[in-house]
Chain A
Amino acid sequence: MIVSEIMITHLVTVTPDDSLSHAANLLRQHQFHHLPVVKPTHGLKPQGQQYTTHSSWPALEGLVTSHDIDLAATLGAENSHTNDQHPWQERRVAEVMNRSIMRVTPTTSVAAAAQMLVEQGLNCLPVVEYEEALNTEPGEQHDEHVFLVGLLTRSDLLIEFARTLGAFEPGMNLHIPLHTGNPTSLAKMLLLAAELHIKIESIIVAPPKKGVPHAATVRIGTINPAPLLVRLQQAGIPYSFADFQFEGGTHG
Chain B
Amino acid sequence: MDDRPNLSRSRLAFDQGELAYDFGPEHPMKPQRLIALMDLLKTSELWKPDDKQCQLPIRAATIEELKLIHSEVYITAVQLLSVPEEIDAFRNEIETETTHIIMRELAEQYGFGEGDTPALPGMHDVSALITGGTLVALSAVMGLPEGGTFDSEDERPLHVFHPAGGLHHAQAERASGFCVYNDVSVAIARLLEEREAKVLYIDFDAHHGDGVQRSFYDDPRVMTISLHETGRYLFPGTGDVLEVGDGLGRGYSANIPLEPFTEDDSYIEAMNSLLPPLVISFAPDVIISNHGCDTHAWDPLTHLELTLSGIRAQMRLAHQLAHSYCEGRWVAVGGGGYDAYRVVPRAWSMLWAEISDQTLPEHLPEEWVQRWRPLWLKEAELEEEVQVALGKAPGVASFPTTFLDRREDFPAQSRRTTITRSNSRTVAFLRQLLLPSTVRKAFPSTQRISPMAGIFDLLHIRGSQTPSRIKTIESPAGPLLLRDFCPPSLVERLVPDSGLHAFARLPEREHQLLLNLAKSPDCALALAHTPEGEIVAQVTLAPGDDWWDGFENVYEVTIEVSSNWRRMGIAHKILDFALELDALEDMILFAMGLSWHWDTDNLKISVHRYRELIARLFGSQSFEEFATTEPDISMEPGNILLVRVGKNVDQLVVKRFLDRLLSTPHLARW
Interface residues of A (CB under 8 A from B): 166-167, 169-174, 196-199, 219, 221-226, 229-230, 232-233, 241-246
Contacts and interface: CB of A to CB of B under 8 A. Distances in A.
Interface in B39-65: none
Given A199-B113, A223-B169, A224-B301, A246 B237 contact: no
Contacts of A171: 235-237
A224 B232 CA distance: 15
Nearest to B211: A170
13 contacts: A170-B177, A170-B210, A170-B235, A170-B238, A171-B236, A199-B115, A222-B235, A223-B176, A241-B233, A242-B233, A243-B233, A244-B303, A245-B391
A170 B176 contact: yes
A246 B260 contact: no
Contacts of B301: 223-226
A164 to B, nearest CB: 14
A201 to B, nearest CB: 9
Contacts of B28: 224, 226
B178 interface: yes
Given A170-B237, A172-B235, A223 B177 contact: yes
Contacts of B390: 225-226, 229, 241-242, 244
Nearest to A233: B389
A242 B230 CA distance: 9
Contact of B389 (A170, A172, A196, A232): A232
A199 B109 CA distance: 13
B177 to A, nearest CB: 4
Interface residues of B, number: 35
Contact of B235 (A167, A196, A223): A223
B169 A172 contact: no
B426 to A, nearest CB: 15
B114 interface: yes
Contacts of B234: 172, 242
Nearest to B234: A172
A189 to B, nearest CB: 13
A246 B389 contact: yes
Contacts of B261: 243
The interface centre, meaning the residue of A229, A232, A233 with most chain B CB atoms within 10 A of its CB, is A229
A226 B303 CA distance: 12
B207 interface: yes
A242 B391 contact: yes
B115 A198 contact: yes
A198 B207 CA distance: 18
B72 to A, nearest CB: 22
A96 B444 CA distance: 52
B116 interface: yes
Given A170-B236, A172-B235, A197 B177 contact: no
Nearest to B117: A223
Contact of A167 (B237, B259, B303, B392): B237
Contacts of B177: 170, 223
B115 A221 contact: yes
B627 interface: no
Interface of B: 28, 113-116, 169, 176-178, 207, 210, 229, 232-238, 259-261, 300-301, 303, 338, 382, 385-386, 388-392, 415
Nearest to A240: B391
A171 B116 CA distance: 11
B116 A222 contact: yes
Given A174-B233, A241-B391, A242-B232, 16 more contacts: A170-B237, A171-B237, A173-B232, A173-B233, A219-B237, A221-B113, A221-B115, A223-B235, A225-B390, A226-B28, A226-B300, A242-B233, A242-B303, A243-B259, A243-B260, A243-B415
B115 A196 contact: yes
Given A170-B169, A173-B237, A224-B301, A246 B210 contact: no
Contacts of A245: 391
Nearest to B27: A224
Contacts of A196: 115
Nearest to A239: B389
A243 B391 contact: yes
A221 to B, nearest CB: 7
Contacts of B259: 243
A222 B169 CA distance: 12
A139 B661 CA distance: 66
Nearest to B383: A226
A141 B467 CA distance: 91
B116 A244 contact: no
Contacts of B303: 242, 244
Contacts of A225: 235, 301, 390
The interface centre, meaning the residue of A170, A172, A246 with most chain B CB atoms within 10 A of its CB, is A170
Nearest to B118: A197
Contacts of B415: 243
A199 B390 CA distance: 19
A220 to B, nearest CB: 9
Contacts of A226: 28, 300-301, 386, 389-390
B388 A197 contact: no
A168 B388 CA distance: 29
Contacts of A174: 233
Nearest to A230: B389
The interface centre, meaning the residue of A174, A223, A246 with most chain B CB atoms within 10 A of its CB, is A223
A243 B389 CA distance: 12
Nearest to B208: A170
Given A233-B388, A241-B391, A222 B300 contact: no
Contact of A223 (B114, B207, B232, B382): B207
The interface centre, meaning the residue of A171, A172, A224 with most chain B CB atoms within 10 A of its CB, is A224
The 9 closest A-B pairs by CB, nearest first: A244-B391, A170-B236, A229-B389, A197-B114, A223-B177, A242-B260, A223-B235, A242-B233, A226-B386
A233 B392 CA distance: 14
A172 B391 contact: no
The interface centre, meaning the residue of B233, B234, B389 with most chain A CB atoms within 10 A of its CB, is B389
A243 B419 CA distance: 11
A226 B389 CA distance: 7
A167 B235 CA distance: 11
A232 B386 CA distance: 11
A241 B302 CA distance: 11
A7 B285 CA distance: 45
A171 B231 CA distance: 9
